[in-house]
């Protein structure tokens, strides 16, 4: 494939202006991001306000008796379908049916929607909120969705007042995500809703608001029990905002910034603005944009460096208009993984010299190219994609988004050398993309796990015919200005891969994406070999392979014009600190049938998966491959492969002979209803503690970091004199292992070898030491010792200074150590926690996939030497907080932290 670039209107051209059929991109970007940490966005010189709306909600599970089945989706579908129609190319737009809306009290309605319903006994809480994570775990629920009660119906209500001075303004409720089938009433009147739980959406409250009085919001959610393959959570689990604007204003996600031409001397910045006219009269306004440099948070710095000329917008009553202008930034400061430079486009809508609306849009200037022969290029430099797939839950916190929790995950991944995130298998929270902009991560934003053909009974296939275009456009328009976003994924392992209509459907979805953004390629994750040869992948710009490392060379040989990416790789499984002997080379082995754990020698995977070593060899043999997204960065709630809920699901990727052998080896284990509540795929466990595999990836992804990691631990009473293989993960190329000072041999890493192995080591307690060289020079060394018995607790916070905003968190690692401070690798001591001062315990965990102890509580057993306690600040209360940990027979520990 010839390298291609995109011209100023986003249409691909080759030199000479000939339309190009393929790929490679030179564009840049970013989007308007919600203010983080729930702080208000109010500008004194603009009537627009965007206020956090998370505090002071009331919550109740289940429908009232008078609801019956009146609010099931099929009965109210016609009322919901017009919601979001502004995203479609429809003329005329659809309207709700005539008459009384669903649940309204004007005739025979539902009590929970009524403004004066007595909700004084409802539970008081703040958003974001996930009711499922509160449990309890239930043994009869499936492990696929973590054995937690996330499904069913729940209601949220909120009472609020708007001042009379707001009369004449337009008022919106913006929800970043609500799980799922959300319906909204304001003052007893149905106002709208949205069924897909991962989409960000808006409800216009203006026609029903009481200005100068009290208003009541009621939101109903309904999660079908068989609607997800993993733990989706339940509730209004992302941030909510109240937006006030003038009747003529910039539309939601209405500013789009692109930079189609970038040189060392200048960058062309195109700003396209969509304006809403919510009045009954034709409107004429002027549009001006200024460009500022941005600080770390994406806010403008200093004086504007550029200002556009004024553009006049004439907007018919009740319609939208689109205007654009171009500016040239001199000596642009590029966004990259190392220098996360950004700018801000400040767009004003004026009439008679008065500002009637203003939106500030952070954006970055950077060039991306996806090539068939040279992988991925950022600003002209090849950058291997060293990515991980991430589900949206935050472990013990559930799906309720938290800025600090996401930031901590990215910090841990960054230290490993990860530089990319795939949002499997749904649009992410806006805050995740803001963090990736700030911290220097590439993002593949994914829309769907299925299309019209589903994977479980009530999954997205139920919604796909009516909602796929709106959901897809919502994702692209919201996120198309983030410099971190480099690819749009239209689907993951969708079942239409093998169908005759799959290619047309893929082309349809890709076409929707390209209508809204031609600055990035379209990709899909293909897991069926025949998908490469039935023409379906021609609908996408990049061939994304899931678990097909041996296809890289074949597809490159037969279709050399296709850029190739491992969209989902490895699926290696392990439990932190667990080791099974004898060490088997069969990837289906490594399971401990009595504890439901998986050995951490990193040699084991389900039928479809492989070791990291296998994937890396395929990439090294095919250097044109852009890189990979490993399944997964962190363990996540649900999908506890290999201990799924039944034999069929456990073995469904195996051949008949392999199934029989695996079933025999498992001794009927698979017939037990899922003995685990979270996955084993993560490079990092659910609590955020690195597994051994973390250091294997670090050794490859950070080749310049002097590092070495020895496994297993060296506490094996009763194994004296028995073979206990030792593996070393290191960025060096030569290593020598010593046991109690005696050399066990020096090894030089050969071609396609990614770990050092001493497979005949005989266990003797004491000290393992490895010395490592690189390019013939000493590189690093490390030791692992046999420890004493557990003697004390150690507390290590991830930081000492917190914000007193009611949302900030501190993650405290609890180590069970011997008298010398060494972690005791098999310690399982029960630990009690307490906190004094302006904070509370938010959650506890230990990373054990088989633990069904509640995440909410003040006690947790250590798992293989470690536990985690998460403390949350109290809103508007500053001071010193003290966290204490105690365990019978061990020296306790305490730390002081500050909340301001």
pLDDT tens for 49-78 read 999 999 999 999 999 999 999 999 999 999
Q: Are 13 and 19 in contact (CB under 8 A)?
A: yes
Q: How far apart are CA 332 and CA 341, in angstroms?
A: 9
Which of the four pLDDT bands, split at 50, 70 and 90, describes residue 17?
Answer: very low
Order of all β-strands in the sheet with 742-748: 742-748, 734-739, 767-774, 777-785
**Predicted local confidence at residue 184, as pLDDT:** 98
Residue 279, classified by CB atoms within 10 Å of its CB into exposed (0-12), middle (13-18) or buried (19+), is middle
**Predicted local confidence at residue 289, as pLDDT:** 97
The values of phi and psi at residue 785, to 5°, are: -115, 155
Give which of 393, 416, 407 is closest to 845, Cα–Cα.
393
Helix or strand (DSSP H, E) at 507: helix 502-516
The values of phi and psi at residue 436, to 5°, are: -65, -35
Q: How far apart are CA 894 and CA 900, in angstroms?
A: 20
**Predicted local confidence at residue 834, as pLDDT:** 98
The token pair at 382 is: 């090849």
Least confident of 508-522, 531-545, 851-865: 531-545
Give yes or no for residue 570 having a pLDDT over 70. Answer: yes
Which of the 8 DSSP states describes residue 299?
-
Give yes or no for residue 397 having a pLDDT over 60. Answer: yes
Q: Are 81 and 466 in contact (CB under 8 A)?
A: yes
Q: Are 843 and 396 in contact (CB under 8 A)?
A: yes
Q: Using only C-alpha atoms, what is the Rg of the chain? A: 28
Order of all β-strands in the sheet with 266-277: 248-262, 266-277, 320-330
**Predicted local confidence at residue 15, as pLDDT:** 27
Which of the 8 DSSP states describes residue 35?
P
Give yes or no for residue 711 having a pLDDT over 70. Answer: yes
Give yes or no for residue 40 having a pLDDT over 50. Answer: no
**Predicted local confidence at residue 895, as pLDDT:** 98
The values of phi and psi at residue 439, to 5°, are: -100, -10
- Look at phi and psi of residue 38 and say left if phi exceeds 0, alpha if psi is from -120 to 50, else beta: left
The values of phi and psi at residue 249, to 5°, are: -155, 165
Residues acting as catalytic residues: 493, 568
Which of the four pLDDT bands, split at 50, 70 and 90, describes residue 324?
Answer: very high
Give yes or no for residue 740 having a pLDDT over 90. Answer: yes
Task: List, for residues 572-609, the tens digit of each pLDDT value.
Answer: 999 999 999 999 999 999 999 899 999 999 999 999 99
Give yes or no for residue 454 having a pLDDT over 80. Answer: yes
**Predicted local confidence at residue 645, as pLDDT:** 56
> Given the structure tokens 């910034």, which residue do they identify?
257
Which of the four pLDDT bands, split at 50, 70 and 90, describes residue 674?
Answer: low
Residue 140, classified by CB atoms within 10 Å of its CB into exposed (0-12), middle (13-18) or buried (19+), is exposed
The token pair at 807 is: 């949302």
HSE at residue 723, side-chain half, CA atoms within 13 A, is 9
**Predicted local confidence at residue 46, as pLDDT:** 60
Which of the four pLDDT bands, split at 50, 70 and 90, describes residue 675?
Answer: confident
Average pLDDT of every residue of the chain? 91
Angle between helices 464-479 and 502-516 (to 10 degrees): 30
Give which of 707, 715, 716, 714 is closest to 756, Cα–Cα.
707
Give yes or no for residue 291 having a pLDDT over 90. Answer: yes
Query: In the chain, pLDDT over 90 holds for what percent of residues?
Result: 86
H runs (alpha helix) in 356-418: 403-416
Q: Name residues whose C-beta falls within 8 Å of residue 134's C-beta, 6 or more positions apart in sequence.
A: 398, 856
Which of the 8 DSSP states describes residue 477?
H
Average pLDDT over residues 442-468: 97
**Predicted local confidence at residue 825, as pLDDT:** 98
**Residues 643, 644, 648, 654: is their CA dihedral positive or negative?**
negative
pTM, rounded to two decimals: 0.93
Angle between helices 430-439 and 464-479 (to 10 degrees): 30
**Predicted local confidence at residue 31, as pLDDT:** 32
Q: How far apart are CA 185 and CA 191, in angstroms?
A: 5
Q: Name residues whose C-beta falls within 8 Å of residue 783's C-beta, 6 or more positions apart in sequence.
A: 710, 767, 768, 769, 770
- Look at phi and psi of residue 617 and say left if phi exceeds 0, alpha if psi is from -120 to 50, else beta: alpha
CA angle 97, 102, 104 (to 5 degrees): 115
Between the CA of residue 584 and those of 604, 749, 764, what are the distances in Å?
A: 9, 21, 21
> Given the structure tokens 């009740």, which residue do they identify?
318
**Predicted local confidence at residue 20, as pLDDT:** 30
Q: How far apart are CA 592 and CA 594, in angstroms?
A: 6
HSE at residue 468, side-chain half, CA atoms within 13 A, is 23
Q: Are 694 and 634 in contact (CB under 8 A)?
A: no
Q: How far apart are CA 889 and CA 884, in angstroms?
A: 15
Give which of 156, 243, 170, 252 is closest to 211, Cα–Cα.
170
CA 166: distance to chain centroid?
Answer: 37
Q: Name residues whose C-beta falls within 8 Å of residue 194's C-beta, 6 or more positions apart in sequence.
A: 80, 83, 84, 175, 178, 182, 201
DSSP 3-state assignment of 700? helix
Average pLDDT over residues 520-536: 83
Give yes or no for residue 190 having a pLDDT over 90. Answer: yes
Kindly report the number of other CB atoms within 10 A of residue 324's CB atom: 15
End-to-end CA gap in the chain = 56
Give counts: helices (H), strands (E), the chain.
Answer: 10, 50
Q: How far apart are CA 570 and CA 829, in angstroms?
A: 33
Give which of 197, 205, 187, 273 is closest to 243, Cα–Cα.
205
Between the CA of residue 446 and those of 238, 389, 485, what are the distances in Å?
A: 18, 10, 10
DSSP 3-state assignment of 772? strand
Give which of 537, 552, 547 is closest to 567, Cα–Cα.
547
Give yes or no for residue 21 having a pLDDT over 90. Answer: no
> Given the structure tokens 């840049």, which residue do they identify?
28
Q: How far apart are CA 86 and CA 4, in angstroms?
A: 33
Least confident of 272-281, 299-308, 672-681: 672-681
Q: How far apart are CA 440 and CA 297, in angstroms?
A: 13
Give yes or no for residue 35 having a pLDDT over 90. Answer: no
Q: What is the largest CA-CA distance in the chain?
A: 89
Average pLDDT over residues 758-768: 98
Which of the four pLDDT bands, split at 50, 70 and 90, describes residue 90?
Answer: low
Beta bridge partners of 485: 443
Give yes or no for residue 699 having a pLDDT over 80. Answer: yes
Give yes or no for residue 85 having a pLDDT over 70. Answer: yes
Residue 793, classified by CB atoms within 10 Å of its CB into exposed (0-12), middle (13-18) or buried (19+), is buried
Give yes or no for residue 556 having a pLDDT over 60. Answer: yes
The token pair at 219 is: 């939101």
Q: Are 566 and 619 in contact (CB under 8 A)?
A: yes
The token pair at 196 is: 């897909």
**Predicted local confidence at residue 593, as pLDDT:** 87
Give yes or no for residue 505 having a pLDDT over 50. Answer: yes
Would you say how long the chain is, in residues? 900
Q: How far apart are CA 386 and CA 381, in angstroms?
A: 15
């Amino acid at each position: 494939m010839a390298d291609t670039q995109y011209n100023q209107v986003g249409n691909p051209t080759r030199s000479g202006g000939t339309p190009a059929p393929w790929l490679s991109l030179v564009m840049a970007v970013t989007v308007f991001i919600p203010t983080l940490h729930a702080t208000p966005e109010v500008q004194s010189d603009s009537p627009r306000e965007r206020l956090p709306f998370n505090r002071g909600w009331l919550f109740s599970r289940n429908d009232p008796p008078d609801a019956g089945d009146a609010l099931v989706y099929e009965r109210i579908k016609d009322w919901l379908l017009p919601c979001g129609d502004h995203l479609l190319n429809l003329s005329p737009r659809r309207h709700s049916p005539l008459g009384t809306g669903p649940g309204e009290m004007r005739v025979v309605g539902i009590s929970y929607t009524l403004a004066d319903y007595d909700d004084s006994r409802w539970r008081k809480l703040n958003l974001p909120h996930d009711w499922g994570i509160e449990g309890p775990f239930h043994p009869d629920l499936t492990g696929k969705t973590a054995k937690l009660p996330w499904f069913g119906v729940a209601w949220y209500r909120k009472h609020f007042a708007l001042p009379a001075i707001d009369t004449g303004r337009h008022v919106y409720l913006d929800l970043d995500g609500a799980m799922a089938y959300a319906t909204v009433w304001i003052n007893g009147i149905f106002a709208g809703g949205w069924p897909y739980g991962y989409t960000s959406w808006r409800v216009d409250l203006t026609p029903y608001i009481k200005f100068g009085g009290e208003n009541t919001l009621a939101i109903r959610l309904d999660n079908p029990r068989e609607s997800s393959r993993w733990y989706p959570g339940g509730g209004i689990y992302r941030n909510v905002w109240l937006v006030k604007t003038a009747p003529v204003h910039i539309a939601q996600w209405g500013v789009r910034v692109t930079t189609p031409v970038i040189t060392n001397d200048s960058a062309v910045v195109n700003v396209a603005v969509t304006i809403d006219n919510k009045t009954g009269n034709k409107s004429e306004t002027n549009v001006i944009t200024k460009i500022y440099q941005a600080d770390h948070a994406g806010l403008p710095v200093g004086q504007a460096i550029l200002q556009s000329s004024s553009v006049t917008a004439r907007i018919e009553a009740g319609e939208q208009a689109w205007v654009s202008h171009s500016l040239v930034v001199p000596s642009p400061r590029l966004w990259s993984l190392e220098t996360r430079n950004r700018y801000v486009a400040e767009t004003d809508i004026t009439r008679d010299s008065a500002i009637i609306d203003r939106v500030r849009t952070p954006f970055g200037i950077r060039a991306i190219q996806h090539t068939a022969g040279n992988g991925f290029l950022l600003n002209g430099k090849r950058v291997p994609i060293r990515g991980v797939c991430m589900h949206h839950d935050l472990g013990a916190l559930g799906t309720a988004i938290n800025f600090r929790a996401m930031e901590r995950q990215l910090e841990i991944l960054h230290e490993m050398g990860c530089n990319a995130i795939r949002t499997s298998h749904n649009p992410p929270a806006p805050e995740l993309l803001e963090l990736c902009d700030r911290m220097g991560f590439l993002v593949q934003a994914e829309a769907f796990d299925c299309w019209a053909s589903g994977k479980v009974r009530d999954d997205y296939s139920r919604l796909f015919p009516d909602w796929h275009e709106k959901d897809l456009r919502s994702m692209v328009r919201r996120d198309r200005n983030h410099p971190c976003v480099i690819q749009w994924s239209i689907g993951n392992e969708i079942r239409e891969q093998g169908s005759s209509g799959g290619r047309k459907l893929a082309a349809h979805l890709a076409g929707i994406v390209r209508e809204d953004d031609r600055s990035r390629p379209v990709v899909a994750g293909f897991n069926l070999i025949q998908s490469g040869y039935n023409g379906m992948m021609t609908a996408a710009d990049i061939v994304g392979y899931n678990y097909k490392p041996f296809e890289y060379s074949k597809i490159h040989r037969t279709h050399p014009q296709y850029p190739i990416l491992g969209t989902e790789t490895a699926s290696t499984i392990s439990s932190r600190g667990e080791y099974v002997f004898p060490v088997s080379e069969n990837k289906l082995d490594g399971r401990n049938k009595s504890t439901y754990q998986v050995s951490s020698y990193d040699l084991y995977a389900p039928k479809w998966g492989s070791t990291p070593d296998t994937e890396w060899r395929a990439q090294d043999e095919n250097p044109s491959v852009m890189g990979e997204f490993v399944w997964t960065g962190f363990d996540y709630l649900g999908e506890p492969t290999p201990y799924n809920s039944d034999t069929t699901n456990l073995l469904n990727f195996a051949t008949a002979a392999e199934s029989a052998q695996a079933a025999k080896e498992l001794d009927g284990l698979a017939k037990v209803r899922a003995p685990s509540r979270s996955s084993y795929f993560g490079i990092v466990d659910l609590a955020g503690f690195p597994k051994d595999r973390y250091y294997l990836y670090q050794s490859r992804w950070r080749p310049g970091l002097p590092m070495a990691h020895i496994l297993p631990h060296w506490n094996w009473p009763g194994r004296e004199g028995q073979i206990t293989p030792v593996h070393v993960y290191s960025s060096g190329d030569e290593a020598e292992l010593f046991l109690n000072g005696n050399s066990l041999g020096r090894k030089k890493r050969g071609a396609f070898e990614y770990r050092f192995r001493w497979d005949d080591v005989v266990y003797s307690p004491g000290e393992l030491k490895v010395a490592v060289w690189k390019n013939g020079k000493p590189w690093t060394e490390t030791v692992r010792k046999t420890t004493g018995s557990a003697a004390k607790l150690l507390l290590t916070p991830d930081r000492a200074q917190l914000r007193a905003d009611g949302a900030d968190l501190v993650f405290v690692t609890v180590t069970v150590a011997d008298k010398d401070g060494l972690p005791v690798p098999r310690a399982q001591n029960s630990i009690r926690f307490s906190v004094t001062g302006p904070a509370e315990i938010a959650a506890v965990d230990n990373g054990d996939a088989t633990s069904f102890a509640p995440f909410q509580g003040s006690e947790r057993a250590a798992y293989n030497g470690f536990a985690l306690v998460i403390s949350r600040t109290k809103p508007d209360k500053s001071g010193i907080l003290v966290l204490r940990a105690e365990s019978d027979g061990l020296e306790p520990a305490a730390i002081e932290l500050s909340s301001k």
